[in-house]
Every structure is written in C-alpha cells, then in structure tokens.
Structure 1
Amino acid sequence: MKPAIRFQGPRDLLRNKYLYMLMIPAVLFSIVFAYLPLIGISIAFQDFNPLKGIFHSEWVGLSNFEFFFRGQNWIVITGHTVVFNILFIITGTVMSLTLAVMLTELGKNAAVRTMQSVMILPNFISWPIIGLFAVTFFSADTGVINKLMDFLGMQPISFYTDAGVWPPIFVIMNLWKTAGFGAIVYMAAIVGIDKELYEAARIDGASRFQSIFRITLPLLKSTISMLFLLSLGNIFGGNLEMIFSLIGDNSLLFPTTDTIDTYVFRSLRTVGSLGMTQAIALYQSVVGFIIVMVANKLAGKLDKDSALF
C-alpha cells in the first residue's frame, strides 16, 4: 500500500501545504528540544567555565575522558550498570508478560479492573518516597524485616553494611514499580489479537495453556522485540534515582551498587567539573546507540517485523 503523501518537490509542497503545516509544531519541538541541545556535547572536550560559556571555554581534547577511564574502576562500574539493566529488562519482560496473560485470561470483571489499578499504582510513586519506605523495612534496629527475622529466631541482616544483599533488592523493587505498568502495554497488544484464532483453537481441542504458547506469545513477538530494543537504549543508564533514593552515598555498598550514573553524580558534587561528567554521559550515549543499532540489525535479519527501522 502506497503512502497517502510522498514529497515530490516544491509543487507537492504547495499542493499539500495545509497537511505539511501540521508537521511544523513537531518539527520545531524536535529542533528546539532534541537537536539544538546537542551543542552541549562539546562540553565533553572543554575545560568548561559557565562564565565563559560553551563557545569560549578552553578546549582540552580527550583529557576529560581520562578522568573516568584511567585505572580499572570504570570497568567495574560499567559492569554493574550493564548487569543491573540486563536483569531489569529480562525480569521486567517476563513479569509483565505473565501478568498481562493472567489478567487477560481472567476476563473482564470488577476484580480484574481493580487489580489493574493496583498494579499500575507503584509506577506513579516517586523513588524518593519509596526510599523513605525502604528505611522502614531495612533498618537494622527498627526495620520490619529484621524484627520479623528476630521473631522467627533468625539472624538479622545489616542491610546498610552488607553490599551483597542489594542487587536482588534492586531487581525486586524495580519489578514492583514497573512490571504492572508494562503489563498494560502487553494487554493492549493481546486485545488486538483476532479472537477467531482462539475459537478455532478451542474447536481443535487446545487447552488454555496451549492457546497461550501457540497463539498469544508468538503473536506478541513483535511487541516484545520492539520494547526490548527500546530498553536496550538505556542499558548504560545507571538508574540514579532508584539507587540514590534507596542507599544514598553509603560507601560500604559501592562494591556491588556503584553504577555510571551514581559515579557521575558523586563526581559532579565532589570534583565539580561539568566537562568530565559530560564526557561520561557522551560515553553512555554513544555505546547505547551502537548497541541499539546492532541489536536492531540482528532483529531485522531474524524477523523483519521485529526491527524498529
């Protein structure tokens, strides 16, 4: 099917001028908020001085990148960032899919609508508020979890001094906050599946589980792939808001919780160099972009409908 409008030169622009005018707000928005800010990338190569501005600050080449890449610390921090995000993507996808399929199979009733509302509620609670609740649960002396463990005769856990317990806590907290909202996206995709396929499957004697694994999940492949590729763009993002809200600047927990974003945020407050922090942000963006492009290319070769572009 041919597109309704295809630009064919100035005459086409005049002929469809009102339709092209509808594009103006979106184009201006993209230019102002997406492309003009790219000038700030130059800060990564400058000894940036706010008084001198971007165009008059001294150029220092790749010196700002040495701040992050010297030594072995950047490898550990990058590893934490990637591992956390891989865990978040995998567990979030599996949980969101499971919830979506379960709620869809339950049908439309008041109980299901109530469950949907309860599931998406955590998505609208900010991480700083969740961090305050976390203190109530994880505090060594007055925490709910340690009081329960003491009641059961078990050894209490010192959450804010034991770095090993926090990676699974991050995964669980991220699931609690995001899985319900993600399920809504998959439920919308499931609703669009032709119901005649399920009716034909029932006539052929297929059970509900067989319908899920033979119809629902295969037809969700494109949606899963698209959301997965979009998630890969943030695989080098360090979830600053979540981590800082839950543990703050607790140096005892850095061995397992320090990510690129928390490192940059801490460095910005201690070193105060915008050039160094911008250099690390550029490193995150470039690598994330490369990962998305490679993953999209591979997805397109495996299944044309799974690629974003």
Structure 2
Amino acid sequence: MSGGERAMKEQAVNRISASGAAKIALKEWKKNYALYLLLLPAIAFFIIFAYIPMGGLIIAFKDYNIFTGIWASDWAGLANFKEMFSIPEFFRITRNTLLLNILGLLVGFPAPIILALMLNEIRSKYFKKISQSLLYLPHFMSWIVLGGIVYAVLSPKYGIVNEIMRWIGMNEFYFMADKTSWVIVYTLSAVWQSAGWGTIIYLAAITAIDPSLYEAASIDGAGRLRKIISVTIPSIMPTIIILFILAVGNMVSIGIEQPLALANAVVGDVSDVISTYVYRVGIKQGDFALTTAVGMVQSVINLFLILTANHFAKKAGGESLW
C-alpha cells in the first residue's frame, strides 16, 4: 500500500471515528438532557461572576483612573506590584491571613469529619434530625448576626461566659480585646458556623459505603470504633483528600464578613487580613489598581498551593482532583 493510500485510509477512519463520537455524544445528550439543563444556571453563574470579571485584572498593570476608564488609563507596568510589596502593612496582613487560615485548617477541617462520624452512629432518628438541624442552622445566619451573638456571649459585663467565671470566683475577662483570645474566638466561631454544613458531604459519602463491609466487620467481631477506623474512614478517604486539597487552595484567601464582624481597633494587629485591606484601600480609598494587584498575587499563590497539594496527594495516595 502506497503512502497516499495509507493516508487516505487513515483520514477515512478518522472521519468514521469522529462521526461515531458525535453520534455517541448526541445520544448521551438526549439521554441526560435534563441533567445538562440543570447545569446551565451554574455554568452561567461562573461565566458571569468568575470568568468575565477576570478581564478586570488588566487594572493591576495600569495607573487606573475611575473617570477615564480602564482602556484610557495609562499603563503602569509592574509599579502596582512593587508598591504592594513595599507597603508597611503587607507583611502583617499576609501573616494574619496565613495564621487564621492555618488554625482554621487544623481545627476546622477535622471538625465536620468527626461530627459526621458521630451523627452516623446515632440510632435515634428523632435525635439525629434535631442534632443535624441545630448544627446546620449557623450556616444560614449572616456573620453580622453571628458576630453579635459572639460579642453578647463574651461580653465582660453581661456575657454568660463572664457570668460563669464570676460565679466560680474568677475575674471577668474581655475576650474580644485580647489578641490571643480573639484569634481563638475567631477560629472556634468559624468552626461553629461551617462545621455543621460540612458534615453533609461526609454523611453523603458515608451513606454510599457498601453495607456488606460493615457486615463482614461484624462477623470478624469488630465493634463500633473498629468499624469506624477500619471501614468508614478508609471509605471516605477520597472525599477527605479532595476537600483537603480545596482547603489548601484557599490558604491565602479569607472572607471579609467574619473579620469585619468580629474585629475591633484593639486587636487590629491580628484581625487585619488581606480582604479587609483590599476593602479599606480599594473601596474606601479608591485605589483599585493596587488592590487588584493584591488580589491577583493572592490568586496566583492559591493556584500554586492547590497544584502543589494535588501533586503530593496524587503521589502519596493516588487520590487527586485530576
């Protein structure tokens, strides 16, 4: 067979393969079209609020003026990035962001796993439903409300915690005005707000475990604790690893709601984070170019962290995002 005939044959095979793939894709679409339609709102949301705004990153490289617009503003090169690394607050806000996120990861990440394992062992359906409802409730409350509750509970004059301390002979203590206790309160309140909601994912993973594994463990004489260690945790380990990778990918990001709701001037040295700095300088002072540069560096570092975590997770256990 000549080279030309061989090439023609390969082209024909490729056309047939492409046609077959198109037919399979069309058949798949017809079969699951309802599921694809359900995806459309989510896809539209990310396109509108995640991908289209990425065009605004060009502001980081410009001497942006809100009155002249993005395109008419002069190019500034890397001047905004140089300014970012030279500002006095840069080290402090980066340190605080990393500190709060690391504490949140160490304390907050295991919390929903432990709660899910405990809820799974509850035999009373009525008590289980009440417990789940109480655990999920804080997730649906805004941080302004939760912050008010925290301040009320820890109030040195009327808070229940200080009332108990006075009752047992201890002096009152202003938790929200002490830097160390503020960090602890911040971490625990974040766990309180998010742990219950996080249990939903782990409970779903637990319910997907093959019951025959528990039956086999029972035949071998395993108790509840042994079943949790030998069956439940290994079975949900892929879910744990995936969520851990995603959590590491947000190590340099922190929401603005909780710091604003809990912070005060006394603990500013530990409560001022990247998001509050961006809000203060970008929104209040109108320096959009500098804060865009800060946000861009933040995103690049998060991308690097999630790629690194994914790489090591894949090397260690084979589970990864991709």
Distance in 2 of aligned mates of 1:62 and 1:212? 53
Q: CA deviation at 1:235?
A: 1.2
Q: How has the CA–CA distance of structure 1 residues 212 and 59 changed in structure 2, closer, same or farther, with 3 Å as cutoff?
A: same
Is the CA contact 1:229–1:296 (under 8 Å) kept in the aligned structure 2? yes
Structural mapping, 1:206-221, within 5 Å: 206-221=222-237
Aligned identity (percent) is: 34
SS of 1:58's equivalent in the other structure is: strand
Q: How much is the aligned-residue C-alpha RMSD, in angstroms?
A: 2.5
Alignment-derived partner of residue 164 in structure 1? 180
Q: How has the CA–CA distance of structure 1 residues 118 and 8 changed in structure 2, closer, same or farther, with 3 Å as cutoff?
A: farther
Describe the superposition over 1:22-75 as per-residue Cα deviations: whole angstroms up to 9, x where unpaired. Answer: 589476655444322211111111122222222221211222223331156422
Q: CA deviation at 1:214?
A: 1.0
Describe the superposition over 1:91-115 as per-residue Cα deviations: whole angstroms up to 9, x where unpaired. Answer: 2222211111111112351111111
* Structure 1, unpaired ranges of 5+: 1-6
Q: Output the TM-score relative to the length of structure 1.
A: 0.88
2:278 matches 1:264? yes
Q: How has the CA–CA distance of structure 1 residues 110 and 163 changed in structure 2, closer, same or farther, with 3 Å as cutoff?
A: same
Q: Which structure has the highest helix share of the two?
A: 2
Distance in 2 of aligned mates of 1:242 and 1:95? 19
Alignment-derived partner of residue 307 in structure 1? 320
Distance in 2 of aligned mates of 1:185 and 1:142? 38
SS of 1:47's equivalent in the other structure is: strand
Amino acid at match of 1:134: V
SS of 1:262's equivalent in the other structure is: helix
Alignment-derived partner of residue 193 in structure 1? 209
Distance in 1 of aligned mates of 2:286 and 2:314? 43
- The structure with the larger Rg is 2
Distance in 2 of aligned mates of 1:9 and 1:72? 59
Alignment-derived partner of residue 98 in structure 1? 114
Q: Of the candidates 150, 153, 175, which is equivalent to residue 137 of structure 1?
A: 153
Equivalent pairs counted in the alignment come to 300
Alignment-derived partner of residue 273 in structure 1? 287
Q: Output the TM-score relative to the length of structure 2.
A: 0.85
Distance in 2 of aligned mates of 1:73 and 1:279? 15
Distance in 1 of aligned mates of 2:138 and 2:261? 15
Describe the superposition over 1:143-169 as per-residue Cα deviations: whole angstroms up to 9, x where unpaired. Answer: 333333233321221234322211110
Is the CA contact 1:238–1:262 (under 8 Å) kept in the aligned structure 2? no
Q: CA deviation at 1:11?
A: 7.7
Q: CA deviation at 1:263?
A: 1.9
2:123 matches 1:107? yes
Alignment-derived partner of residue 152 in structure 1? 168
Distance in 1 of aligned mates of 2:58 and 2:148? 38
Q: Of the candidates 182, 193, 198, which is equivalent to residue 182 of structure 1?
A: 198
Q: Of the candidates 169, 173, 183, which is equivalent to residue 189 of structure 2?
A: 173
Alignment-derived partner of residue 9 in structure 2? none
Distance in 2 of aligned mates of 1:15 and 1:148? 68
Distance in 1 of aligned mates of 2:302 and 2:154? 34
Alignment-derived partner of residue 295 in structure 1? 309
Alignment-derived partner of residue 296 in structure 2? 282
* Structure 2, unpaired ranges of 5+: 1-15
